[in-house]
């Protein structure tokens, strides 16, 4: 099929590369001309395992094209995916300015039938507004459909998530739109949920908000474990073996971050309030998530007393492993709080260093975990990268000024760490 992807950010690049890999002709559009120039050369602006190879392969096979010209993309494509950003406004609502702008420009450049698909995460009823916008700017007697096809891509595992999805959600209003999207995704041989546009839009916000709820629930349980001396990992294991609950997203730690969960929880709360519904459960989820980082800071203070003049090492800056994304990362809140207290920060992340340097001021960025540890009063585990689980702990112990490790992701066994001679503090691991 001939497809356009409007917006070459995280979702757009992964979607475009994967659809091209399935044999489609894909045009990826972005108004950032520098990004487009780099993408044409195979230079990728984000880190996602396997994405660079996928893009280069499909560029070579001429199934994938990058351009800043929306007009040409619209003219050559029957299916047009909108994958522009929908950042949070101050009140928590999603900023749909980009969606409206793209919808208007698609309409002005349409000469025949097109299926316009919302791929970005948008509030329920956005499809109605997209349809109205296109109708207002489109030429006479040109037919079109608007559909919702939300993405469920986890950073660090996005290509596998696209190629082997749990489900594909398709929200449509016509048989033609349904048939186009069903045929497009048929090669993936995945379960499909065919529904109306509004239900499809809600599925994405409901899914992410529920997963955020699981994370905040186990973090609240971890607070109880800290008070009574229980082990939250064992509690989570016992819960997760219940098939009705499942083990995913029951890892206690510093809470959720990234570009999706914080934004989607805020947006779902705002959507509900607009409808006159007080979604107090989600407000509590958000509150628990924020509290986890404050409690982590308290753990540091309990070990170091005064933070002014202390040197603290940070391992992990990305919001999760296998990505360079630091949006809403725990590291931002933690480093900011420590610096306000007068602490000196040494930090390292395998992939997020370049992006972190644009945000953090006064931080000493180091070449690896061992370099971070030199002369530190305390070492913090903030992102659970595999390489941190394989460190030479005896070497780390010799490099630290004080042998204190506070593990915000519970990647180590407390008993073994204490046998190594560390003062070891986890989350919900007081025993």
Between CA 72 and CA 179 the distance in angstroms is 25
Judge contact between 167 and 193, C-beta under 8 A.
yes
Residue 242 corresponds to which tokens in the numbers above? 């219940």
Helix (H, G, I), strand (E, B) or coil at 347: strand
Strand, coil or helix: what is 406?
A: strand
Active-site option among 18, 28, 225, 260: 260
In the numeric block, which tokens belong to residue 23? 């044999």
How far apart, in whole angstroms, are the C-alpha atoms of residue 59 and residue 91?
41
Quick check: helix, strand or coil at residue 113? coil
Q: Please, which residues have CB within 8 angstroms of residue 65's CB and are 6 or more apart in sequence?
A: 25, 26, 27, 28
Catalytic status, residue 260: yes
Cα separation of 106 and 5, whole Å?
Answer: 12
- Cα separation, 403 vs 129, in Å, equals 58
- The two structure tokens encoding residue 402: 């004080």
Number of H-type helices and E-type strands within the chain: 18, 14
Determine if residue 415 is left, alpha or beta; phi over 0 gives left, psi from -120 to 50 gives alpha, anything else beta.
alpha
The tokens describing 179, both together, are 């048939």
**Tokens describing residue 270:** 């705002």
Burial of residue 228 (CB within 10 Å: 0-12, 13-18, 19+) is: exposed
SS3 call for 100? helix
Q: How far is 365 from 388, CA to CA, in rounded Å? A: 16
Point out the residues that are catalytic. Answer: 260
């Amino acid at each position: 099929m001939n497809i356009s992807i409007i917006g070459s950010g995280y979702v757009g690049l992964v979607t475009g590369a994967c659809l091209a890999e399935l044999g489609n002709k894909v045009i990826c559009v972005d108004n950032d001309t520098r990004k487009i120039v780099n993408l044409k050369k195979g230079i990728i602006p984000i880190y996602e395992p396997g994405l660079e190879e996928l893009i280069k392969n499909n560029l070579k096979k001429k199934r994938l094209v990058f351009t800043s010209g929306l007009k040409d993309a619209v003219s050559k494509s029957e299916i047009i995916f909108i994958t522009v950003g929908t950042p949070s406004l101050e009140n928590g609502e999603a900023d749909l300015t980009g969606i409206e702008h793209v919808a208007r420009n698609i309409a002005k450049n349409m000469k025949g039938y097109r299926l316009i698909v919302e791929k970005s995460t948008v509030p329920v009823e956005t499809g109605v507004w997209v349809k109205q916008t296109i109708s207002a700017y489109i030429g006479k007697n040109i037919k079109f459909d608007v559909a919702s096809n939300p993405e469920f891509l986890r950073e660090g595992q996005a290509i596998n998530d696209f190629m082997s999805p749990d489900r594909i959600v398709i929200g449509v209003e016509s048989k033609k739109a349904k048939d186009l999207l069903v045929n497009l995704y048929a090669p993936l041989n995945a379960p499909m949920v065919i529904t109306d546009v509004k239900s499809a839009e809600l599925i994405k916000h409901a899914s992410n908000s529920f997963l955020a709820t699981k994370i905040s629930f186990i973090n609240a349980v971890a607070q109880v474990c800290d008070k009574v001396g229980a082990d939250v990992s064992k509690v989570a294991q016992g819960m997760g073996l219940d098939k009705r609950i499942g083990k995913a997203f029951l890892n206690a730690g510093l809470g959720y971050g990234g570009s999706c969960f914080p934004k989607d929880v805020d947006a779902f709360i705002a959507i509900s309030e607009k409808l006159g519904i007080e979604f107090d459960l989600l407000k509590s989820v958000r509150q628990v998530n924020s509290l986890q980082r404050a409690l982590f800071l308290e753990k540091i203070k309990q070990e170091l007393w005064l933070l002014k003049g202390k040197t603290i090492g940070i391992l992990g800056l990305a919001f999760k492993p296998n990505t360079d994304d630091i949006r809403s990362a725990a590291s931002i809140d933690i480093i900011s709080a420590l610096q306000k207290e007068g602490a000196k920060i040494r930090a390292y992340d395998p992939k997020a260093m370049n992006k972190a340097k644009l945000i953090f001021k006064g931080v000493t960025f180091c070449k690896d975990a061992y370099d971070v540890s030199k002369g530190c009063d305390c070492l913090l585990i903030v992102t659970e990268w595999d390489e941190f689980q394989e460190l030479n702990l005896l070497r780390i112990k010799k490099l630290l000024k004080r042998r204190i490790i506070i593990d915000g992701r519970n990647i180590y066994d407390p008993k073994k760490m204490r046998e190594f001679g560390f003062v070891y503090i986890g989350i919900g691991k007081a025993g």
